[in-house]
Amino acid sequence: MADSESRSGKRHCDGVGSIVANHYNSIEAKGLKERTKSRIFFMRNSNNWIKSYLINYCLEQIRDRQVDDYPISVLDLGCGKGGDLLKWQKGNIKHLICADIAETSMDQCQERHEINKRKGRGGLFSAEFIVADCTKRRIKPLFENPSKKVDLVSCQFAFHYCFESLDQAETMLCNVSENLKKGGYFVATIPNANEIMSRLKATTGNSFGNEVYRIEFPEDRPKKSSLFGDRYNFFLEGVVDCPEFLVHPPTLENYLHIGKSNMLPLCTTTLVSISQMLLLGQSKSKTHRNKYKQNPSNYPTDEQSTETDGEYSHAQEHLASKEGVSRIRTLSKSEWEALCLYRACVFKKIT
């Protein structure tokens, strides 16, 4: 592994960037046993299966247009500690470029990749690791091969940080478009701005939430929101506690489609909609047919622990109305409400 300076070049981690980097650097990596104790364990499982569906959908589209054994390459922006490494292994890609602002997270991501290789899990793809704030600098010069372009760019639960300013959004979108081949795909999960604003308008204060998440806007937030820099603090149990920014889908689509990127929006939908589609077995993905089995949890066969009464009343009512049905696959109300806070976007580069 190259040292930090050669991996990242000049280091710029100021403002919100430094807060975000410090937050994710401070989160301790936990094993499966510890993660199962999390209040949002099943929600995180659901998020992982939804991400897996989105990733594999794009990989299948790429392979359908190529010859057998086509070597797919991927750029993972905001890869964190490498939570998607096994998804890339299962997707049988050939090369992965990881980029993240948090140096400790990147070290853990690389270590995780090396462990997977030794176990025989990660040997199918090579990988390189870049520490950089992708909202503030072009990362192409940091590639092992700066002329390389990838088939898929993925940015999961991290793209919203670039909407701190117009300049940062343009830099991040440059990192997406200039590294993506013609016909390649960009997939991202972002905050659901419409849902967040709807909940804010429904409250009398500047914050809202439940037992697993909380969103708080500044008291001096302008009544007319800005397209960039619309900041709020987001807390999600055991995962996130730092500033984020609203991403307005029409603005994102305009910059990617009408701007220099020339990328066609294929779909934008909520994670809840994708989850319901998978639960009903309506996925068109060959990889995901009949495989959405463990997420969400099976109620009431799993032990459920919540601080709020009525968290599973929707499941109880459903079971009571369905003769011969003894259990239902679902999340608690608080987890469903948190899941509604996100949406997924898929774009295809057409030139």
What does the block give as tokens for 164? 């701190």
Is residue 156 part of an annotated ligand binding site?
yes
Name residue, tokens 């192409």. Answer: 140
Is residue 230 part of an annotated ligand binding site?
no
Is 289 a domain residue?
A: no
Is residue 161 part of an annotated ligand binding site?
yes
Is residue 203 pLDDT above 90, yes or no? yes
The amino acid that residue 52 corresponds to is S
Domain identity same for 127 and 264: yes
Is 285 a domain residue?
A: no
**Is the dihedral angle over the CA atoms 192, 267, 61, 77 positive or is it negative?**
negative
The full DSSP string for 51-114 is HHHHHHHHHHHHHHTS-TT---EEEEET-TTTTTHHHHHHTT-SEEEEEES-HHHHHHHHHHHH
Per-residue confidence band for 38, with pLDDT thresholds at 50, 70 and 90: confident
Is 286 a domain residue?
A: no
Is 50 a domain residue?
A: yes
Domain identity same for 228 and 312: no
Domain identity same for 316 and 201: no
Is residue 133 part of an annotated ligand binding site?
yes
Stated pTM of the model: 0.86
Is 288 a domain residue?
A: no
Strand order across the 150-156 sheet: 126-131, 95-100, 73-77, 150-156, 180-191, 342-349, 263-270
Is 290 a domain residue?
A: no
Domain identity same for 186 and 315: no
Domain identity same for 208 and 249: yes
Domain identity same for 32 and 60: yes
Domain identity same for 177 and 317: no
Is residue 284 part of an annotated ligand binding site?
no
Domain identity same for 150 and 250: yes
Per-residue confidence band for 105, with pLDDT thresholds at 50, 70 and 90: very high
Domain identity same for 196 and 100: yes
Domain identity same for 231 and 151: yes
Of the spans 63-72, 187-196, 301-310, 313-322, which averages the highest pLDDT? 187-196
Domain identity same for 253 and 155: yes
φ, ψ at 61 (rounded to 5°): -65, -40
What tens digit of pLDDT does each residue of 238-259 get? 888 999 999 988 888 888 876 6
Is residue 22 part of an annotated ligand binding site?
no
Is residue 316 part of an annotated ligand binding site?
no
Is 292 a domain residue?
A: no
What CATH number should be reported for the domain holding residue 64? 3.40.50.150
Distance in angstroms (rounded) separating the CA atoms of residues 282 and 35: 29
Phi-psi region of 38 (alpha: psi -120 to 50; beta: other; left: phi over 0): beta
What tens digit of pLDDT does each residue of 9-21 get? 334 446 688 888 8
Is residue 48 part of an annotated ligand binding site?
yes
Domain count, the chain: 2
What tens digit of pLDDT does each residue of 48-64 get? 989 999 999 999 999 99
What does the block give as tokens for 192? 């659901």
Is 241 a domain residue?
A: yes
Strand order across the 207-209 sheet: 207-209, 213-216, 231-236, 240-245
Domain identity same for 322 and 247: no
Domain that holds residue 144: 15-279+336-349
